[in-house]
Structure 1
Amino acid sequence: MSSELDEPVPVLLTRIGNYPQHHGSLGVVRTLGRLGVPVHAIVEDRFTPVAVSRHLTRGVVWPTTGREDPGRLADALLSIGRSVGRRCVAVPTDDEAAILLAEHADRLAECFLLPPVPADLPRVLAGKASMHRICADAGVPSPRSLAPADRGELVDAGRELGFPLVLKNLEPFSRLRAPAVASTTKVRDERELLGRFPTDTLPPLLVQEYIPRQQAEDWITHFYCGPGGRPRVLFTGLKLRSWPPYAGVTTRAVALRNPQLAELAARLCGRIGYSGVGDLDWRYDRRDGRYKLVDFNPRTGAQFRLFENVHGVDVVRAMYLDLTGREVPVGPQVEGRVFVAGQLDFASAAAWLRTERRLPPDLLHERATERAWLSRDDPAPAVIEAMRFMGLVARRLARSARARPDHPPSDGP
């Protein structure tokens, strides 16, 4: 699917919150811009990687935090949509944007083409506890999870699930307003758990059983579903590394066909009637031989460009074609594509080397098919990303140096 489309409908890349170094957003701009689609994108400032892409038609500077009133956020989206000049396809790249688009779809339909997802469903799926309830109802395995309301329930949760265990932010929006943890976090024992939450009042928090990485594989499923939860495209792949290690964003993954996992994802989407792009994280538990759903992200995943079918259709292109009344070419996924997320993968590989005392087995053998930042036809975003990344590292090193005492404490009086 390399040729440009006739009379393309414009797109607005929609995002809530401050995450300027997001390679998934750049992937959206590139995959649609290469088809000749006019892509407008919400950006934090004029010098983000997305803002300097040659495939971007217009960057709309609109910094948000996720703490704003949802009605006002919807008003602002309408204003941006009207400025495009015609109805456009909205592509969300975070849970909050997906929820906003779904819950205000009636109003936003004036300016945007949106998948017919039930209005409350993205919020339910993005919520960690509510997602696990849906899994239980649908017969889809998921790790045991609890949402404690106070320190007493937190202690009980730890003892019931056992240590180590995993902590996550419970709800979308609350992770921006009052984050319980910076990212998915493993805690080793009750002392460490209670040390993170010294008061009886807890932020919105999910406590989840830990599946030992030695007994697990991390898999991902990306798809686009039309009305009624019928997948138009569905892809599966194996996550090789992440940052933070074993818990965070995918830094290296390979596209691998997994019929069992594909059937699980398709059955779940059909059962709940999900429509739109989705990004699912699974953990295969060798102890009981089951794939367990860890996260259901009701929006475009950061590594979606890992996957294409034999016609060059990824999940974003599939949604765009479907919502603009075009045919979505059907075909098997391309096997063996490898996605690498730049500097984050170097950090992940270094963490692997430090822990395992050897180089990651894929480092020299799995060559990248798709890189998050580097692209021959669009080099500027990689340059901006490198500059911002080095600035981020320098600021963190400076904060660390300021936190250290000027003189080490003596051993005696």
Structure 2
Amino acid sequence: MAQTGPALDREVPVLLVKVGRYPQSHSAVGAVRSIGQLGVPVHAMVEDRLTPTAVSRYLTGAFVRPTTGRESPERLLATVAAVGRAIGRRSVAVPTDDEAAVLLAEHAEELSPYFLLPPVPPELPRRLANKGEMKGICRANGVSTPRACAPRNREELVATARSWGYPLVLKNLEAFTRLLHPAVCATTVVHDERELLASCPPDGQLSVLVQEYLPPQHAEDWITHLSCGPGGEPLAVFTGLKLRSWPPGAGVTTRACSLANPELAGLATRLCRQIGYSGTADLDWRLDLRDGRYNLVDFNPRVGAQFRLFETVDGVDVLRALHLSLTGRVVPQGPQLPRSFGVGQLDLQSIMATARREHRLPRDIRPHRETERAWICGDDLVPAAVEALRFGATEALRLARAVRANPVVRALRSRPRD
């Protein structure tokens, strides 16, 4: 069922480009629906034929091209170029992770026969995806960030933590390295030295960022999603309030609402103009209520996981704005709609974890008339069913590992049998 929205060029397909294994990606499903519902052919690189993305009714073609991020740049480049040739028409290439954004920007010239790409400076996505480099870019352009540093080893890590105090936030420092040699499994909040040491590998150099943690009672989490044209000129700018995440206090957004924030929109667009950023972007901010300052926490040079939260009265989201721009069409400039966004099972986990740890129910919002759900869509239900099956299998494996690791269970299994 086609939806109303801006008139996209249906002769120009879209390819979702990914590097790494994350089959349960609601950003990719959202992208397929966003473009496919307007009649544009959408193709995607997927891990297998039974990912939620691969089974969407709006997907024109699934290219099973599993990658790990450990491949050489030449091999990854050849893989993406081969998919472009197979599509047969020059397509808009959309990265759904930082590594894909880096690959497309640094090899834009070689990929130009197959893809339409935003004219971003080739080195910029890699620098923005590097948490330490991003802090330097912000400092040079008058944007506040939380205090942060990149220790080289565990000794420096422990010394920093003892000097700053807890809690602290740990993040993998840069694209590709987070897949090759991850310092932490994901963005992690540590509350003491035991958690700190348990979170990081014991040997070798670290590729990790230590970041100041702004306590939730003194802070709010905000998000900005943009699509920028040449020279950082804004095509579409959205702002919203992040209410819950998984894990709580860090990680992917599980509940958010769209709220117009002209001050924050101005900060984000000014930064993109100053650095010449072009393309879609997902920026995470933390508002320190003690001084009223917005601190940029992450600049993700790609389409964000919750980008479908944001849409204008004209039906424009950041991905549709990018397609309009790259195909030479005008992007309508209407105000953003008031909407909310939820990520099903992950949001339930966030609520339960917060209630267990803090003995309170997490903050919520008065429901908007329109709620965008990450998985459930009335005319595209199969991705939600596949996600439920994969989520259940993932949780069952996690529970089995936890049971096996339990000291009591290990002791019982090791007892000699009569």
Equivalent residues in 2 for 1:167-246 (5 A)? 167-197=170-200, 199=202, 201-246=204-249
AA matched with 1:91: V
| Deviation sequence 1:152-210 (CA, Å, 0-9, x none) | 32233223433221111001111111110111112223344345447452321111111
Aligned to 2:105: 102
Q: Distance in 2 between matches of 1:17 and 1:168?
A: 17
What runs of 5+ residues in structure 1 fail to find an aligned partner?
none
User: How much does 1:5 deviate?
Assistant: 4.2
1:360 equivalent in alignment to 2:365:
no
User: How much does 1:287 deviate?
Assistant: 2.1
User: How much does 1:402 deviate?
Assistant: 2.0
Equivalent residues in 2 for 1:42-121 (5 A)? 42-121=45-124
Aligned to 1:407: 412
User: How much does 1:358 deviate?
Assistant: 3.7
Aligned to 1:326: 329
Aligned to 1:258: 261
User: How much does 1:314 deviate?
Assistant: 0.1
* SS of equivalent to 2:412: coil
User: How much does 1:361 deviate?
Assistant: 4.4
Aligned to 2:285: 282
| Deviation sequence 1:105-137 (CA, Å, 0-9, x none) | 000001000000000000000000000000100
* SS of equivalent to 1:260: helix
AA matched with 2:364: D
Q: Which TM-score applies when normalising by structure 1?
A: 0.95
- The CA RMSD measured in Å over matched residues stands at 1.9
Aligned to 2:377: 375
User: How much does 1:395 deviate?
Assistant: 1.0
What runs of 5+ residues in structure 2 fail to find an aligned partner?
none
State the identity %. Answer: 61
| Deviation sequence 1:226-272 (CA, Å, 0-9, x none) | 00011110000000100001101000100001111111101110110
AA matched with 2:403: A
AA matched with 2:385: V
AA matched with 1:284: L
Q: Relative to structure 1, is the Cα distance of residues 356 and 189 closer, same or farther in structure 2, using a 3 angstrom cutoff?
A: closer
AA matched with 2:345: Q
Q: Relative to structure 1, is the Cα distance of residues 367 and 360 closer, same or farther in structure 2, using a 3 angstrom cutoff?
A: farther
Contact kept? 2:19, 2:100, Cα under 8 Å: yes
Q: Relative to structure 1, is the Cα distance of residues 353 and 312 closer, same or farther in structure 2, using a 3 angstrom cutoff?
A: same
Q: Distance in 2 between matches of 1:395 and 1:199?
A: 25
AA matched with 2:412: H
Contact kept? 1:8, 1:36, Cα under 8 Å: no
| Deviation sequence 1:42-99 (CA, Å, 0-9, x none) | 0100000010000000100000000000111111111110001110000110000000
AA matched with 1:369: T
Contact kept? 2:151, 2:210, Cα under 8 Å: yes
Contact kept? 1:81, 1:88, Cα under 8 Å: yes
Aligned to 1:299: 302
**Which segment drifts farther, 108-117 or 349-358?**
349-358
AA matched with 1:343: Q
Counterpart pick for 1:128 among 128, 131, 144: 131
AA matched with 1:60: F
**Which segment drifts farther, 171-180 or 6-15?**
6-15
Contact kept? 1:342, 1:373, Cα under 8 Å: yes
AA matched with 2:377: S
Aligned to 2:152: 149
Q: Which TM-score applies when normalising by structure 2?
A: 0.94
User: How much does 1:352 deviate?
Assistant: 2.4
Q: Distance in 2 between matches of 1:402 and 1:193?
A: 23
Q: Distance in 1 between matches of 2:176 and 2:9?
A: 38
Q: Distance in 2 between matches of 1:359 and 1:153?
A: 37
Q: Distance in 2 between matches of 1:80 and 1:408?
A: 50
* SS of equivalent to 2:54: helix
